[in-house]
Structure 1
Amino acid sequence: MGMQKKLTIQDIARLAGVSKATASRVLNGNPSVNGELRARVMRVVEEHDFVPNATAVSLAGGNTHLIGVLAPPLVWPALPEIIRGVAEYIEDSAYEIVLYSINFANAECNHSEVVKRILNLHLVSGLLAIFTDELMPQITRLAQDGLPIVLIDDQEEPGHIPWVGIDNRESACTAVRYLLELGHTRIAHISGPQHYYWANERYRGYCQALQEAGIAPEPELLLQGGFEPLHGRQCAKQLFSRERASWPSAIFVANDQMAYGVLEYAEQQGIRVPEDVTIVGFDDNLLSAYTRPPLTTVHQPFSEMGRRATELLLNMIDPQYLAGPKASQQVQAPTDFPRLSERDQPVHLQLPTSMVIRASSTQASLSVKT
């Protein structure tokens, strides 16, 4: 059996007995088309399972109803939760997702080409950019050219592009205050790379909490790592290779991935957690509840970030998107940020974090809001 010829919009118009312009308006959801003509076009569409080419619709001036999601590799710890939030919100809208995953570890790859393809294909109506790292100059240019963009990013200080994130400084401050309340006074800090905004803010929060308690940060208790468990192991080795009398009683680690390395090193060396040292991380990645012992950490609302960023982006693309054919009655119009036409400054949505207390600091199991 030969493969059936793929229908074009011209074919749809011919079979429905209407002009190509009328068929195009129906497919783009234009409400000006006569009801009887719309029904004829949609009957042909349904009979032939016609799906319009998204690029062609865009080039014709229509809304593609596609949202681009520019993201780090799919193994990035926070990404599954963020994408889950995006998908949950998109499911109740008239839009679909196109995912662009970038491996920043491949230094030889020119990642800016991905951004150029997004622009040249005219495929998406807006872009959700997650932890864009080195691509911020290209992202900024796309925004300046008029493409609706929302960032989920704590690697750069929030600027003129709409942004969804957390208060890294206050969240870190809360974590260290918790350690102080447990009676710890010698608290080490393993920070992230200092050229990242989040790492600096979490370090400042650490210092702020100590200073509030009248404690000066000790230089020998400050170490800098990267993102991975390997960096946590290396920093832990530096801390615990000293005389036991100089060990910290607690360590605030700037992300959970490095905290996993600290826990691993402690187990290898027979250092008991939390009896010999208390460890607190940051992020509350999915694995953090299953480490040995389970990790006390700062919970970032990654799924909620995905939902709120998507809500904001759809509002920027089309403030009336809730009237679309797939819109759910359960989806509510945004209430805590102004319409695009009503605001002078970019929208920055800062979501609350929470402390999740697990066995790496105490045997209790509870959640304390910041």
Structure 2
Amino acid sequence: MARKRTIDDIARLAGVSKTTVSRVLNSKPDVDPNTRERILRIVKEEGFVPSATATGLAGGRSHLLGVLVPSFTWPMIPDIVCGIAETIGNSAYELVLYSLNDKTRENGEGDVIDHILSTNLVAGLLAVLPGQSSKFVLRLHQHGFPVVLIDDQGDPPLVPWVGADNQCGAYDAVKHLLALGHRRIAHIQGPMKYVCSRDRYEGYCRALQEHGIPVDPALVIEGAFETPSGREATQAFFSLPEDQRPTAIFAGNDLMAFGVLAFAEEHGIDVPGDLALVGFDSISSSALVRPSLTTVKQPFQEMGQRGIELLLSIIEQSDQQRLNVRPAFARDFTRLSSSDIHEPSSAPPLRIQLATSLVVRASCGMQQRSSISSV
């Protein structure tokens, strides 16, 4: 069986250095046309398939990108990774996945970051929902390592970021319930230590206030972004006197909305006849429950696409400066509108905020509820 050709073999046959071969394989412009043609001919004749790691090392820069994700079982991760993979497929890069599973958290999340820095394996890192790991990701950024965050749950760090407009999404959800005639609208918050939970609560309050409806503290309960907490919150709402109970619930995420549906089924509460319901996220199972869940759709796949494009733009900035060549992935970000970008005055990291959309299904009811009186 013939030995597999390496980049060293191609360089030897072409009479050039490995660096020159790497530059040709990565479509760099500063290679003599005759030399480029000779290398490509030898690559084809020898059936050489380049290794992303080898060509990156030979060219002085890795062509692997790290993607740091929480547990792969989180329902939004497949859509985000799908967007990442779609974009990577059109580039010269490949992915290395790092997961913050339970064992990793026990051993220390900082160990993963230390490993990324010490191995010098990847050219940059896309951190998805890093949560408590944000401080470690910030450390990478402070070392000059290219980093982009997707939908960070903590306070905005000084790191390039891509996420959704949680406040507007919540506002649209509650405004829809108001248009259906509801006035006693409860809200199950996500954990208020997260910025997204606070933003969704602000959107809920804004919609009520615009309709002259004061926020009733008895109709706001903090949940845990998990199904049991949605059930517990609904139980508390329906423990109120009958005339004080909500006619609609806006849940801070779909999993908590599933808890509302479970409680309603157990206690003979008709959804949407007795209780309208809207969730947030539009995970795939939201269309499969009965009744199907009206929910705010986060553009998870687009988050993955825009996040990896931004990371590639940052990584290739060094090439732009050296060769005065515009990075291919920079083009989309120079045309962003002011509503897409939020840059703190104290520091200017790029923040791309994507629009959400309301997906109307059966759980909220389709008709105006004229029988519901105003408070």
Name the TM-score class by shorter chain.
0.7 to 0.9
Matched with 1:357 is 360
Matched with 1:273 is 271
**Matched-pair contact (CA < 8 Å) for 1:89–1:310:** yes
Q: Distance in 2 between matches of 1:104 and 1:136?
A: 17
Identical amino acids, percent of aligned pairs: 50
3-state SS, counterpart of residue 333 of structure 1: helix
Question: Gapped runs of 5+ residues in structure 2?
Answer: 321-327, 338-342, 368-375
Letter in 2 for 1:355: L
**Matched-pair contact (CA < 8 Å) for 1:58–1:122:** no
Equivalences for residues 56-67 of structure 1 within 5 A: 57-60=55-58, 62-67=60-65
**Matched-pair contact (CA < 8 Å) for 1:225–1:231:** yes
Matched, 1:81 2:84: no
Letter in 2 for 1:198: C
**Matched-pair contact (CA < 8 Å) for 1:150–1:163:** yes
Deviations 1:276-323 (A, max 9, x none): 11111111111111111011111111112122222222222226999x
Q: Distance in 2 between matches of 1:332 and 1:133?
A: 27
When residues 284 and 348 of structure 1 are mapped into structure 2, their CA distance, relative to the original with a 3 A threshold, is same
Matched with 1:100 is 98
Aligned length: 351
How far apart are 1:22 and its partner, in Å?
A: 3.8
3-state SS, counterpart of residue 355 of structure 1: strand
Q: Distance in 2 between matches of 1:260 and 1:272?
A: 14
Letter in 1 for 2:91: S
How far apart are 1:212 and its partner, in Å?
A: 2.4
**Matched-pair contact (CA < 8 Å) for 2:246–2:275:** yes
3-state SS, counterpart of residue 363 of structure 2: coil
How far apart are 1:106 and its partner, in Å?
A: 6.3
Deviations 1:148-203 (A, max 9, x none): 22211241233321111122222212221222222212111111111111111111
When residues 279 and 362 of structure 1 are mapped into structure 2, their CA distance, relative to the original with a 3 A threshold, is same
When residues 231 and 105 of structure 1 are mapped into structure 2, their CA distance, relative to the original with a 3 A threshold, is farther
Deviations 1:119-168 (A, max 9, x none): 22222222211100121111111112222222112412333211111222
Q: Distance in 2 between matches of 1:20 and 1:114?
A: 31
Question: Gapped runs of 5+ residues in structure 1?
Answer: 323-329, 365-370
Matched with 1:261 is 259
Q: Distance in 2 between matches of 1:206 and 1:128?
A: 31
**How does the TM-score come out when normalised to structure 2?**
0.84
Q: Distance in 2 between matches of 1:331 and 1:232?
A: 41
**Matched-pair contact (CA < 8 Å) for 1:68–1:98:** yes
**Matched-pair contact (CA < 8 Å) for 2:188–2:221:** yes
RMSD over equivalenced CA pairs, Å: 2.8
When residues 49 and 261 of structure 1 are mapped into structure 2, their CA distance, relative to the original with a 3 A threshold, is farther
3-state SS, counterpart of residue 210 of structure 1: helix
Q: Distance in 2 between matches of 1:140 and 1:187?
A: 39
